[in-house]
Amino acid sequence: MDKFYTTTAIDYVNGAPHIGHAYEKILTNVIYRHFTQRVSDPYMLTGVDEHGIKIQKLAQSMGIEPKELCDTNAQKFADAWKRLDINYSQLIRTTSEEHKKTVQKIFKKLIEQGDIYKNSYKGLYCAGCEAFLSDKDLDEEGCCLIHKKKPEEVSEENYFFKLTKYKQRIIDHIKQNPDFIVPSFRANEVLNQLENIEDISVSRAKTNVSWGIDVLDDPEQVIYVWIDALSNYITALGYDTENPSEKFKKYWPAEVQVIGKDILKFHSIYWLALLMALDIELPKHLLAHGWITIDEAKMSKSLGNVVSPDSVMDSFNLEEPDALRYYMATAAPCGKDGNYSDDDFKEKVNAHLANSMGNLLNRTLSMLVKYFDGEIKPEFVQKSPLFDDAIQAIKEVKHHFDYFEVSEAAQKIVELVDKTNKYVTDNAPWTLAKEEKMTECGVVLYTVLEIMCVISSLIYPYCPNIATKMASQLKYDINTKLDDIKIENIKTGKLISKEEIVPVFLRLDSELADKSKKK
């Protein structure tokens, strides 16, 4: 595999990013960074969704133009991802001229080939979902299952997409490709939703929604969210209905598209049907992640428990985002819901990154300086059964990432760290030195440092700064591809001096968990 194209959902810019937004971007970026260690040409796309009634109404309430609101909030997302070391390849904005022109071409093409038609419609519209809802989407009180608000009854003439035309093809694709939707248990949800699927509205009358992309040849209509927003994954690559770019041909289809479980329906049904209508190859996988709760409660503005990634980093005085990246990426098993709490954050990263991994490297290098002036002697270079564990860990981590099991892959890294710590305890190099068994002592230290090279590579997608610091002290090339890693990285001779030994991660001692300090 030479290339790896991954995408996130695009975020709606009616506010600043919160920890849920950060979870998806971190999760995707960890996957992306892992595959930079395996392929020659990875590409990660993220972006912002900037059209629709919510933006229009919010801008009106603020007395500003929608574009001004979008510009301000889009920058907030870009700034947040930079601070979290989300090293995406591209951030697409749906207000960009290139995107808008391509969306108009896609819409026109679908009209011309009969996949989009005009019809009068009366239905229940949820502004939060930006979708018309059926009875199955409502609770007993007639409220949206997701937003807990009653939808508005809307009657207008719109363009409709023939979703029903592609129903059977979508069903067949999901059934014939059991690994298409990750985790696989969500496939049944989609198949159930497909049972009563109807054609969908893909435009709104300008009298109701003016902030959007105009329909060519029909200035009274704007293109509705789904064709506008969902198309970003291909318009970003330079897709064109007549002459797709070389970039599009190079990267599409996506290996995995990462989305929240609440928008799986739109990606597994609407998006697939749109691609089928355009005769474009389907993505290889859809990864539907769960939600992040706060102290076991769903985030809600009314509850006042919306947490931003900036607030976590500021409260814990984090100069680098590795601790938050690691915590969020390991917050939940693949596809399940996760939870953020101040106490758990502090406890987990202190245990895994400071006490286990960071301390293991620091004390091993310190003993190398204390007993051998930082030098690796030739007689220290001996094979160890622990090396087999390290090679096996690489294979297991790769296997989990092949199925986008990010938290599960991290657990394999932690297990390798724990095995190495046990090896140190069992062999007690300090006792060997005291007994003047210097060669045996040196062998233990060398063995640990070789394993730490492997650990630095494996932890890199989660903690790029920590991994780089580890590799620097080990004189190890952090850019080594996973398939090229061998247990022969530590060279004989002077490795490190006392002055070069720096803790790669300090324990968190902030008291963010003290709620009184938040007020």
Tell me which of 21, 51, 285, 469 is the catalytic residue.
21
Tell me which of 67, 82, 147, 422 is the catalytic residue.
147
**Among this protein's residues, is 481 annotated catalytic?**
no
**Among this protein's residues, is 463 annotated catalytic?**
no
**Among this protein's residues, is 21 annotated catalytic?**
yes
What token pair was written down for 253? Answer: 């289809």
Q: Which of 502, 340, 355, 364 is nearest to 423 (CA)?
A: 364
Tell me which of 249, 298, 498, 518 is the catalytic residue.
298
**Among this protein's residues, is 298 annotated catalytic?**
yes
**Among this protein's residues, is 18 annotated catalytic?**
yes
The torsion region of residue 452 among left (phi > 0), alpha (psi -120 to 50) and beta comes to: alpha
The 3-class SS string of 75-117 reads HHHHHHHHHCCCCCCEEEECCCHHHHHHHHHHHHHHHHCCCEE
Tell me which of 70, 129, 453, 463 is the catalytic residue.
129
Contact between 154 and 209 under an 8 Å Cβ cutoff? The reply is: no
The torsion region of residue 274 among left (phi > 0), alpha (psi -120 to 50) and beta comes to: alpha
**Among this protein's residues, is 250 annotated catalytic?**
no
Q: Which of 204, 181, 211 is nearest to 271 (CA)?
A: 181
Tell me which of 25, 99, 126, 289 is the catalytic residue.
126
Report the C-alpha gap between 136 and 157 in whole angstroms: 24
**Among this protein's residues, is 129 annotated catalytic?**
yes
**Among this protein's residues, is 453 annotated catalytic?**
no
Contact between 88 and 44 under an 8 Å Cβ cutoff? The reply is: yes
Give burial (CB, 10 Å; 0-12/13-18/19+) of 312.
buried
Residue 153: count other Cβ atoms within 10 Å of its Cβ.
9
Report the C-alpha gap between 398 and 417 in whole angstroms: 17
Pairing of strands 256-260, 3-8: parallel
Active site residues: 18, 21, 126, 129, 144, 147, 298, 301
